[in-house]
Structure 1
Amino acid sequence: MKKLILSMVLVGATTLAFGQKKVVRSAEKNFKSGDLATALSEVNTALQDPETGADPETHLLKAKIQLKMFGSDSSNTMETLEKGQASYETFQQTLEKAGASSKTGEAVLEDDIPGVPENLRPYSINTLKNTSFDKAITQYNEDDFEMAYEFFNLAGMVDKTDTTIHYNAGFLANDLGRFEDAKKHFGYLLEIPEYNKLNAYYFMVQILSTEEKNPEAAYDIVMAAREDYPSDKILAEYEIQLLLQLNKMDEAMAQIKEALANDPENTSILLRSGYLKEQSGDIDGALADYKKSVQVDPDFYEGNYYAGALLLEKSREILAELNSLSDAEWEKRSESMGKEANQYYSDAIPYFEKSLQLRPDDTDIMGILYQIHTRLKNTAEAEKYNKKLIELLGPNWMER
């Protein structure tokens, strides 16, 4: 009797296993015919069986079904993305069970050549990568940048060495304000040998210094970048800018001198050179650098504004000194010192006028020009700016 019962159990188990294999075959047939909902239901049933559930091929079939569902969903919404993510997770589970060097593992990793007929595609994890990339491009062209990023990101999860995918993902993430995501993708790019990493370095520096207010980390990135690209002028500018932020003035000036020796007409570096000289008390040297930057590029707003502002500062210092004199000294020197101050005021006018031309709605510059012309008794010019300011800010603009 015991033998009979045991035989019946073995027959039942064999029948059940055979039945589950039949379910797997049916799922594969429905996968090929396009009845994906039925195929997924069948393969999920087969995965509950100890024998077919332990077979990596069953997991691979599920990943393929999920991938085909992902690819056939043209709505390209978050729900679509979830199908792709589910396929990715199942591919990963398959690799864990089978190993990359096994026959099943090789099927998971098989190359997918874009453009081949659907029936010849391997439906591997690389098919998932290419399908997700195509969806990213589609959504980007439709200005759906959020979903474009998500699909680029999914494609990048498959292949962390694909520079096109990760550059696009990083660019979009940065543009969307997703700075941690952007750093992740640019970080992958920085790890790839032989890749031209300059743009990735630029983005990383900007994110760290501007968005995250972390000049120390940004400086570390710049120094790593300069090892790879020692002659890059933009990196040299970043280094100087960050040294200034970190209050490393001596190092900054040394870098500025080196940069200007290589690129004497670089307006940004001339501006920083002027700033450093101004901070150290070399006002004439600073003014010379600001003026030179404008000679190089007459439309350089910062050079014009800084030159004008420094000329105003020089005139104010003269007037402050004049006001501190004794009555007797004031009588002796007021005329000459007043003329000198007025000359600086007058010299500042063209720089501020150019600044206003470049930024025609800047009411602060209008106010400065109003004050200068009032000081110089240029009544018509002062009234011109007064009218503009009343029009833009109202009659009480001076009280703002």
Structure 2
Amino acid sequence: MKKLLLTALAAASIQAASAQNSAVNTATLNHKNGTLDKAKTEIDKAIEHPKTKDKAKTWFMHGIIYQDMIGNPVYGKMTDDKTPEVVLNSFNKTVEIDGKNGEFGKQVPERLNLLYGQVLNQAVEFHNTQDWDNAIKKYELASKINPTDTTAVLYAAYASIGKEEPASAIKYYDQLINMGHKTQNVYRTKVQLLQQTEASDDKVMAALAEGLKEHPNDVYLMQEELRYYLQADRGDEAMAKLQNAITADPNNASLHAVMGNLLERKKDLDGATASYKKALAIDPNSFDANYNLAVLEYNRGSEVNNKAAKMDYKTYQKQGKALEEQAKKHFAASLPYFEKAHQIQPDDQATLQNLNRVYTRLNRTQDAERISKLMGN
């Protein structure tokens, strides 16, 4: 009698386990047939039952059933904001049980790539409607799904800028840098954001130094660093640092352009002119060298003109015309550099405005009108 009872209990146990395995199999079949509501009902039972809750197949099917409901025209209404995270947790549980190389574990990466795309698309939809909070939330989840991809982190930074939260954006730029995404734009934007938050000069200088370590020839970063040196009355240090860089890389046009800018700030206009021309001898298409040299010559002309304008009538009768001719020479000297800068960057508004002024001063009315049209006037 005892033996018969044990046999009966064993049979009941086998039937119970079989019933729960059947729930997973039924969920799988319903998923295959596209009846995701029924598949969901069965798989929800299976992940709760002690006989199947620790099986990789259970969690894998749970993940793909929920995932395939996302965006589905019929079953999408059964999902909510938390569904993508439910899917992620299911796939993580699959790998935890099965390992990366198990029957189901090895299928997870492809599914995670799909999930990443789904969540990123949701984030972009929120981004496009300027729903910054939800966009950032989805970008962060996308980054959690694929921690090595920088796209979601970069767009989370953009969304934070859109939300006018520079401190949050800085956090994402730091994350990008730690991920190895060390582009020039990342460092430039981080510096600008630090300046918006009125961070201490030390913090901004540290960010500039970090950026220049990765991009030693970045003109913007160099100029900003020099500006901070000059604000702190450390012009000699800036000059020495830049001179060392030029000695190490004498054929770098950007370095000579920055030297010109520094000398111009120190009122050494002849030295600045020489440096800009060195830069152009190395790279005739250097926008910074062309533009800065043009502005330098234009400002020289304006300074001479101002002297003439301040003269009394008697003095002007004697010296004014000569000064105006001298000013015109400087304006004419600036023109080819402004034209070249315009050729290099046709849409730069500052260049267009200055070109318009020069043409006007040189009485080249038709050219001034042409540039004015390009400016939208």
TM-score by length of 1: 0.62
Are 1:345 and 2:326 an aligned pair?
no
- Once the two structures are superposed, residues 82-105 of structure 1 have per-residue CA deviations (whole angstroms, 9 ceiling, x without a partner) of 64421223456x5xxxxxxxxx87
> Contact 1:133–1:152 (CA<8 Å) still a contact in 2?
no
- Once the two structures are superposed, residues 110-149 of structure 1 have per-residue CA deviations (whole angstroms, 9 ceiling, x without a partner) of 215xxxxxxxx6333x744432325657999xx99938x9
**1:254 deviation in Å?**
3.5
Structure 1 residues 22, 220: closer, same or farther in 2, change over 3 A? farther
**1:309 deviation in Å?**
1.7
Structure 1 residues 45, 279: closer, same or farther in 2, change over 3 A? same
> In the alignment, residue 208 of structure 1 is paired with which amino acid?
K
Partner of 2:131: none
Distance in structure 1 (CA, Å) of the matches to 2:212 and 2:160: 26
Distance in structure 2 (CA, Å) of the matches to 1:170 and 1:87: 21
Partner of 1:269: 255
Distance in structure 2 (CA, Å) of the matches to 1:152 and 1:72: 20
Distance in structure 2 (CA, Å) of the matches to 1:90 and 1:137: 17
Are 1:206 and 2:188 an aligned pair?
yes
Distance in structure 2 (CA, Å) of the matches to 1:84 and 1:27: 23
**1:57 deviation in Å?**
0.9
Are 1:368 and 2:357 an aligned pair?
yes
Task: Could you tell me which runs of 5 or more consecutive residues in structure 1 were left unpaired when the two chains were aligned.
Answer: 1-13, 95-103, 113-120, 192-196, 375-381
SS in 2 for 1:233: coil
Partner of 1:292: 278
Partner of 2:87: 87
**1:279 deviation in Å?**
1.8
SS in 1 for 2:60: helix
TM-score by length of 2: 0.66
Distance in structure 1 (CA, Å) of the matches to 2:346 and 2:91: 59
Task: Could you tell me which runs of 5 or more consecutive residues in structure 2 were left unpaired when the two chains were aligned.
Answer: 1-9, 126-134, 162-167
Distance in structure 2 (CA, Å) of the matches to 1:136 and 1:264: 47
> Contact 2:295–2:334 (CA<8 Å) still a contact in 1?
yes
Are 1:111 and 2:72 an aligned pair?
no
- Once the two structures are superposed, residues 300-332 of structure 1 have per-residue CA deviations (whole angstroms, 9 ceiling, x without a partner) of 333222212211211222233345557776566
Counterpart mapping for 1:40-189 below 5 A: 40-45=40-45, 52=50, 57=54, 63-69=59-65, 72=68, 83-90=83-90, 106-107=96-97, 110-112=99-101, 122-124=103-105, 127-134=107-114, 146=124, 156-158=143-145, 160=147, 162=148, 166-170=149-153, 177=159, 184=172, 187=175
**1:339 deviation in Å?**
3.9
- Same amino acid, percent of matched pairs: 17
> Contact 1:63–1:87 (CA<8 Å) still a contact in 2?
no
**1:373 deviation in Å?**
1.0
Distance in structure 2 (CA, Å) of the matches to 1:219 and 1:34: 61
- The total of aligned residue pairs comes to 333
- Once the two structures are superposed, residues 30-75 of structure 1 have per-residue CA deviations (whole angstroms, 9 ceiling, x without a partner) of 24435464453234346667xx39x8617x6653223222565696
**1:293 deviation in Å?**
2.8
> In the alignment, residue 146 of structure 1 is paired with which amino acid?
V
Counterpart mapping for 1:277-316 below 5 A: 277-316=263-302
Distance in structure 2 (CA, Å) of the matches to 1:185 and 1:316: 42
Partner of 1:117: none
Distance in structure 2 (CA, Å) of the matches to 1:106 and 1:208: 38
**1:353 deviation in Å?**
2.8
Are 1:388 and 2:366 an aligned pair?
no
> Contact 2:160–2:169 (CA<8 Å) still a contact in 1?
yes
